[in-house]
Amino acid sequence: MNGVADEVLSLFSRARDAVWRPTPASMRLLALFGVIGNAGIIATGGAVRVTESGLGCPEWPKCTGDSLVPTHSPEHPAVNMAIEFGNRMLTFLVLAIGLLVFVAALRLRPRRRDLLLLAAAQPLSVVAQAIIGGIVVLTELHPTSVSLHFLVSPALLIFCVALWVRAGEGDAAPRALVGPAVRRIAQALVVATGAVLIAGTVVTGTGPHAGDADSRRYGFNIEDVTRVHSLLAWVTVALTVTLLAALHRTNAPRDVRRHTLELFGLELGQGVLGYVQYFLGVPAPLVVLHMLCAALMWIAVLRVLLSTRDRGPLPVPAPTPTRTKAPQPA
């Protein structure tokens, strides 16, 4: 029993030190937790929508009119209330991670200003996400507010991924690892991937999985918006293939090519999944998986862009001063 307690105390001590006495390695690990948390909340948000649990908690910030937690309601099934409430609780977890990341960036020595700014954006963005989530509930899942609620997460992932990458590199001026033309292709790829995400929210807001059986939908034809979404996805794949060819032709660094190949593999898997769910009538589990893969694609394309430049090695931590004993009088 004592051995288990000692192990728990040791684990707690290491976790505390990772935040209060951070090293470059622990800073990067905390930043990775931020990436994972924000990708996960995209998937759980998808689960809320496909299970028609968007109004499982019909009030905000309380779940019901008189309770912060789900209570019995004849109008809202318990399972829908639990799913929506669970997604709200995950927001607090992501906020906690963001605060820990910020404290670690504040305590890191030598202090790095850009890491501090990237870390500060995370808890602030989560608070904005929570406020928009309240607007979603109060507007009874208006499709525009639901789309905005989703898109805040990819926007927040920009800060999370940038912090994750920057925590593992130095502070030298950016040095291009590819030519200007290749860099422009990578930038266009990020824009195209973002357009796919935006179009995806329109498809979801037009189709059957809008969060609640009675919620409003966009007034578009589902076939038309699906075709636009698919076309943008094919543009993204074409840009990725173009980038791969350009990287091979210019003998670009291995890391850039590896990250681009990872993105290409995710795109192929996402494409297959998209067509399968379309022909199967968009079953709920595949929709959630599709949203998770969309988050992974967004992370991958950001890594591709960030890998096209180099910021030098990590700064060397300043040595800890040691106290010397005063000479004893003879």
DSSP result, 13-75? HHHHHHHHS--HHHHHHHHHHHHHHHHHHHHHHHHHHHTT-TTSS-SSSSSBTTBSS----TT
Determine the pLDDT at residue 167.
Answer: 94
Determine the pLDDT at residue 326.
Answer: 52
Give the count of domains, the chain: 2
In a domain, 163, yes or no: yes
CB-based contacts of 35: which residues, under 8 Å, 6+ apart? 157, 160, 161, 164, 299
Residues 166 and 191 in one domain: no
Residues 89 and 206 in one domain: no
In a domain, 222, yes or no: yes
**This prediction's pTM:** 0.89
Per the structure, the complete domain to which residue 114 belongs is given by 16-171
Would you write out the chain's pLDDT as a tens digit for each of its 330 residues? 566 676 767 777 888 888 899 999 999 999 999 999 999 888 888 788 777 776 777 777 778 777 777 777 766 677 878 888 888 888 888 899 999 999 999 999 888 999 999 999 989 888 888 888 888 878 877 888 888 888 889 999 999 999 999 999 999 999 999 999 999 999 999 999 999 999 988 888 887 766 566 677 778 888 899 899 999 999 999 999 999 999 999 999 999 999 999 999 999 999 999 889 888 887 888 888 988 999 999 999 999 999 999 999 887 765 544 555 555 554
In a domain, 140, yes or no: yes
Determine the pLDDT at residue 131.
Answer: 86
Determine the pLDDT at residue 209.
Answer: 63
Which domain-ending residue is among 171, 204, 235? 171
Residues 261 and 121 in one domain: no
In a domain, 326, yes or no: no
Question: What's at 92, amino acid-wise?
Answer: F
Please enumerate, as own/partner, the contacts of 9-18 that have beta carbons within 8 Å and a separation of 24 or more.
Answer: 18/104
Cis peptide before 317 (omega within 30 of 0): no
Determine the pLDDT at residue 330.
Answer: 47
Residues 20 and 167 in one domain: yes
Residues 23 and 149 in one domain: yes
Residues 186 and 292 in one domain: yes
Distances (CA, A) of 133 to 85, 140, 141, 217: 12, 11, 9, 17
CA–CA separation, 64 and 72 (whole Å): 10
Residues 69 and 123 in one domain: yes
In a domain, 5, yes or no: no
Please enumerate, as own/partner, the contacts of 230-238 that have beta carbons within 8 Å and a separation of 24 or more.
Answer: 230/274, 232/192, 232/195, 232/196, 232/199, 233/196, 233/267, 233/270, 233/271, 233/274, 235/192, 236/189, 236/192, 236/193, 236/196, 236/267, 237/264, 237/267, 237/268, 237/271
In a domain, 127, yes or no: yes
Residues 215 and 301 in one domain: yes
Question: What's at 175, amino acid-wise?
Answer: R
- Encode 52-73: b = buried (16+ Cβ within 10 Å), e = exposed: bbbbbbbeeeebbeeeeebeeb
Determine the pLDDT at residue 253.
Answer: 94
Residues 150 and 183 in one domain: no
Residues 132 and 201 in one domain: no
Residues 166 and 178 in one domain: no
CA-based Rg of the chain, rounded to a whole angstrom? 23
Residues 247 and 308 in one domain: yes
Which domain-ending residue is among 133, 151, 171? 171
CA–CA separation, 29 and 38 (whole Å): 15
Containing 309, the helix (H) or strand (E) segment is strand 309-310
Nearest to 69 by CA among 88, 47, 54, 91: 88
Other CB atoms within 10 A of residue 105 CB: 26
In a domain, 45, yes or no: yes
Residue 91 in tokens? 């927001």
Residue 290 in tokens? 């599709």
CA–CA separation, 135 and 139 (whole Å): 6
In a domain, 319, yes or no: no
